Amino acid sequence: MKRLLILVLAGLLACPVSAALRHRYSFTSDASDSVGGANGTLVNNPVISAGQIQFFGGTDAAGAYVNLPASTIAINTYPALTLELWATQNTNNPFTMTASFGDTWSNGYGRDYVMFATGAQGDNLGSRVAIANTPNSSNPWNYETGVDGPEYADGKQYHYVLTVSGTTISYYINGVLIGSATGDDVLANISTAKAYLGKGVYSVDQTWTGLVNEYRIYNHAFGEPQLILSNQLGPDLYQDCAILSMSPANNAQDVPYNPYTPLSWTVNSGISVDHFEVFISTDPNIVDPNYALTVNPGTPYATTTALSLNATSLVKEKTYAWRVDVIESGTGKRFVGPMYKFTTAPEGPIFTVQPVHTAAFPGETAVLSAKFLSTQSATVKWFRNNVEVTGADPDVTITLTNVGDEWITTLSIANLEVADEGVYFARATNTGGTKESNSVRLAVKRQLVYYPFNGDSNDYSGSNNHGTPTGTGFSYAAGKVGQAIFLSGSSTYVDMPDVFDNFTGGLTFSLWVNPAAASDWARFISLNNGPNADNIFFSRVSTGTTLRFHVYRGSSSSGGILDAVEALELNKWQMFTVTMTETGAAVIYKDGIPVASGTVQTPNVVTRTNSWIGRSAWTADAYYNGGLDEVRIYNYALTPDQVADLYVADTGPFCRWKPTYDLNNDCEVTLADFALIASEWLKCGIYPASACQ
């Protein structure tokens, strides 16, 4: 039945070949290119049957694949790239590529490549897309910009799309974005030596096992409407996407319905439009994306020449499918649009601007605000830790204003104190119902812990966040200031309370360290929820002398690194401080002087349940071996002067910067320096001496 409906739909479609679609391989009888003439060569007898090509895996030399003319396709000349295929993997054979462009080093590794792997990748049994401009052949995979995807069921066809735009690569499966990554790799540096389907440019790897229904190559990056349309049409049909954007966005929630739902779209300027036909339906078959374009949507809801309309008579909390078909002027050709979905709002208020996590110093005024839509008169309440906050507190002010259907509410808390910290949200009510905003956290900027380690691991910041030494290989002995704690490097660390959740206002780590060994990835401070889970740590890099501050957002570590190269010394007390502002501007200091600066991603607001001194969340990393003293953690960024003050408090005055005319290196410009200048006064090195004045 679905095949019949597709054929019926095909009769409605105009199917011009876009300049953006450069190559199309449908495998009706061979590997010919029906668009660009870049025909492929079958190698080692892949089987073509029922419009699909089948690959059987095996070694690089013996496996079946399609060899494509890479220099003719020349993706390195494209302004952007989309690779699209419908594929069915048959088995999880590790390190296999379904499609690839690039070259191969003499050791069999890939170089300067783009690859598309729908089968298992190494140990994670997932899928992956990647681009790499590789500077050497020893570990080219470390230079990839890539996105990992999930493992999908064997024997089932999926729609895979890879796009490269500038330095960003994106990965989509069945019309849904899996993820994007941005690096330094670009299409212009991709080699045109090789292009394959069914194998990769890594000749050391196996060839791929599975079926490919259709393979397409475009010289632009898909936008969302084209991605969705292509997914809904499937491999049997191709059509230019005339629609460039649609609003509401696909799968939009809480869309207004009363008195109307505003619909709008934009269209490719290269198409002469006679009119648009707009379809709206609640038919569950049409709402299902698997059947969106294979079921007749019925009579158009509206025919218009405008780029928008107001849909009336829609009802609350209902899912609608809608599409816009473009009818070309003069020819009458129909360009079917993608089928989008949206769900109308309930009758209650709809929050359109959510409050955000906020931090402020004690005594300051903290302000939380939110915006919501309500067609009726509304009231609002604010809550902290599920308890209502009211104006009975003289420091609390709550406002609610509106212009038309848009309402704005603010909560102001003056004379902020630690007791005001908590989780806040707004609750708006009208006669149609009640809705709550997102919950956000309010933090008071302060010192969270201070461990002087003078015979114990108690917190002397006033926050009572006491540490707990764990293991038997620790001791308290003379340190930098009074006593310090010494950890043996053998399963010994200090466990801290689970209080490190909200660094909206920034953060500071400061401590004295005296490493006794260059232990592999030994942590000074590590705040975690396990490996690859919202980690924030300050550590040695491997066994070298580089000091690293690293912030994870969830499992993503990209953009979260700041390194101070050659900062660490063994068997010597040194004070290290790292500060990070609300915007991620970070500085690492050694002995009160900046040694590295940059911007890192800011951490998520989440409770970290494994927070340690001297231990990593990765079990393969070493424990810290050496002394630690004067450990401080703040939930805001100290200023450079405040960092210098900490250092001075422990050491006395120090040379923070050397004046230009400090000739005797005492960090001051004094008469002693003038005397050195005077002793050299009127000396002249010009030849002949008679030229000296």
pLDDT in tens, 559-592: 899 999 999 999 999 999 999 999 999 999 999 9
Q: What angle do CA 574, 580, 582 make, to 5 degrees?
A: 165
| Mean pLDDT of the 133-156 span | 85
Beta bridge partner(s), residue 324: 278
* Among the listed residues 234, 358, 354, 215, the one whose alpha carbon sits nearest the alpha carbon of residue 292: 234
pLDDT digits (tens, 9 = 90+) for 159-176: 999 999 999 999 999 999
Q: Is the pLDDT of residue 378 over 60?
A: yes
**Given this model, what pLDDT does residue 121 score?**
55
Q: Who's near 318: CB < 8 A, 6+ residues apart? A: 257, 282, 343, 344
* Nearest-angstrom CA–CA distance, 158 and 692: 86
What does the pLDDT read at residue 559?
Answer: 86
Lowest mean pLDDT among 3-7, 126-130, 444-448, 457-461: 3-7
Look at the domain 350-444 and name its fold.
Immunoglobulin-like (2.60.40)
Selected residue with higher pLDDT from 126 and 438: 438
At 221-263, the pLDDT tens digits run 999 999 999 999 999 889 889 999 999 999 998 888 878 899 9
For residue 628, pLDDT over 90 is answered with yes
For 641, the enclosing helix (H) or strand (E) is helix 640-651
- Indicate the pLDDT class of residue 676, thresholds 50, 70 and 90: confident
Domains 17-233 and 350-444 share a fold: no
Neighbours of 504 (CB within 10 A): 22
Model confidence band, residue 29 (pLDDT cutoffs 50, 70, 90): very high
The owner of tokens 């903290």 is: 366
Average pLDDT over residues 440-450: 96
Q: Domain boundaries in the chain?
A: 17-233, 243-344, 350-444, 447-651, 659-693
pTM over 0.75: no
* pLDDT of 266 over the 90 cut: yes
Among residues 595, 391, 442, 614, the alpha carbon closest in space to that of 519 is found at: 614
Q: Could you say which architecture CATH assigns to the domain 447-651?
A: Sandwich (2.60)
Rounded mean pLDDT of 418-432? 91
On average, the pLDDT of the chain sits at: 91
Residue 3 has pLDDT above 50, yes or no: no
- For 576, 593, 674, the CA distances from 657, given in Å and listed in that order, are 17, 8, 19
Tokens 């102001």, located at residue: 412
Model confidence at 11, pLDDT cuts 50, 70, 90, reads very low
Domain made up of 243-344: CATH architecture = Sandwich (2.60)
**DSSP H or E stretch at residue 671:** helix 671-679
Summarised one tens digit per residue, pLDDT across range 300-331 is 999 999 999 999 989 988 999 999 999 999 99
Mean pLDDT calculated for residue range 282-309: 84
State how beta strands 99-104 and 110-117 pair. Answer: antiparallel
Q: How many CA atoms lie within 13 A of 667 on its CB side?
A: 5
Instruction: State residue 320 phi and psi, 5-degree precision.
Output: -120, 145
Residue 148 near residue 124 (C-beta atoms within 8 A):
yes
Find tokens 């495998």 and name the residue: 27
Residues of the chain above pLDDT 70, percent: 96
The CATH number of the domain covering residues in 17-233: 2.60.120.200
Of the candidates 522, 514, 466, which has an alpha carbon nearest to the alpha carbon of residue 494?
466
Which residue, among 386, 376, 366, has the nearest Cα to 427 in the 3D structure? 386
Is the bond preceding 259 in cis, omega lying within 30 degrees of 0?
yes
Closest CA to 646 of 467, 457, 512: 512
| pLDDT for the residue numbered 125 | 62
DSSP, collapsed to helix, strand or coil, labels residue 488 as: strand
